[in-house]
Amino acid sequence: MIESLSGPRRAKVWCDNARARGLRIGYVPTMGALHRGHLSLVERAARENDLACASIFVNPLQFERADDLQKYPRDEARDHALLEQAGCAMVYGGALAQFFPRDDAAAAAARDAGKFARGLEGKFRRGHLQGVRAIVEKLFATVGACTAYFGEKDFQQCLLVQEIAAEFDGIDVTVCACVREESGLAMSSRNRRLSDAQLRAAPKIYQALCAAQSAWRDGERDSAALEKIMRAQMQDALIQIEYAEVRDAANWSEHAPPDLRNAGQPRALIAAYLGAVRLIDNAALG
Ligand code: AMP
């Protein structure tokens, strides 16, 4: 039976006790409304460690729009059952005030989130990555030494989280591949808010990434040209592109480097709206 704990204090005791028994912990932070993408992380955490645990916390600090936070899907009973099936031994959640009992959450979320929060998500979702940093620090402090599993779908978040983990003793981050629908659409809790017509259009985001990969294979190294190719692939009345850009993940920059010939880890990244639903995706070039 999965243990469901309320509040980070109880979760910390559980994790401390597990480590005292010599058990290695795999940890998967989530915001719930779980799908196969999340569960692939939990299954891997369970496989690669003695115990897997997860958190479900819809972090208000990382939502820059109140309506987005309010509409974020929540389904706790189903989530707990899925976590148990995936081999998760403990899940915890809590209220924002429980994560910030002494310090001011708003002040924590106003702190600079560092270089990986510059550009793209940092530009278009003002305060989002700052909110992520503020809560991930609390989640890591709660669970302590562990291997934490994050999805590559949230690529910029992964870069940020790896930086945060380096500030903690004994926390390693494993970045996991994106799980996709058969159509190529990256699984996301937000997909359930898409209409049938939007669901048919949304795979164009992945097709745009594939088009950029194909152009890269053909030798295209010009950022503007790659961006144009991605935008052309997403031409659709139902898709409103927010950004379709490239970065060198080995040398993160606020703006796209114009020429990617010397890029160590070239990556294409997209954010687009389908109606009110914002989707992101990305893929390695090269
Ligand atoms: P979220 O609940 O959206 O905060 O996601 C929790 C974790 O699951 C994050 O590390 C995400 O990157 C990861 N995740 C979300 N969607 C997918 C997916 N389609 N494939 C793999 N991991 C994912």
Task: Give the end-to-end CA distance of the chain in Å, rounded to a whole number.
Answer: 44
Reported confidence tier of residue 286, pLDDT bands at 50, 70, 90? confident
Would you state the pLDDT for residue 56? 98
Reported confidence tier of residue 274, pLDDT bands at 50, 70, 90? very high
The answer to whether the pTM exceeds 0.95 is: yes
Q: How far is ligand 1, taken at its centre, from the CA of residue 154, in Å?
A: 7
Query: Residue 27 above 90 pLDDT?
Result: yes
Q: Count Cβ neighbours within 10 Å for each residue of 201-239 and write b for 16 or more, e otherwise.
A: bbbbbbebbebbbebbeeebbebeebbebbbebbebebb
The atom number, within ligand 1, closest to the CA of 179 reads 20
Both structure tokens of 108:
């924590």
Identify residue 157 by its one-letter amino acid code: Q
At 71-88, the pLDDT tens digits run 999 999 999 999 999 999
Pocket test for ligand 1, best of 74, 121, 150, 153 (most atoms within 8 A of CB): 153
Q: Which three-class secondary structure state does DSSP give residue 111?
A: coil
Residue having the nearest C-alpha atom to atom 7 of ligand 1: 30
Tell me, yes or no, if 35 is annotated catalytic.
no
C-alpha–C-alpha distance, residues 122 and 238, integer Å: 24
Give mean pLDDT, residues 55-63. 97
At 222-257, the pLDDT tens digits run 999 999 999 999 999 999 999 999 999 999 999 999
Both structure tokens of 263:
């890029």
Give mean pLDDT, residues 186-208. 97
Catalytic residue, candidates 35, 38, 80, 128: 38
Both structure tokens of 238:
């139902």
Residue 62 CB–ligand 1 contact under 6 Å: no
**H-helix segments, the chain:** 8-20, 36-48, 66-71, 76-85, 96-99, 105-110, 121-124, 128-143, 155-165, 196-201, 203-217, 223-233
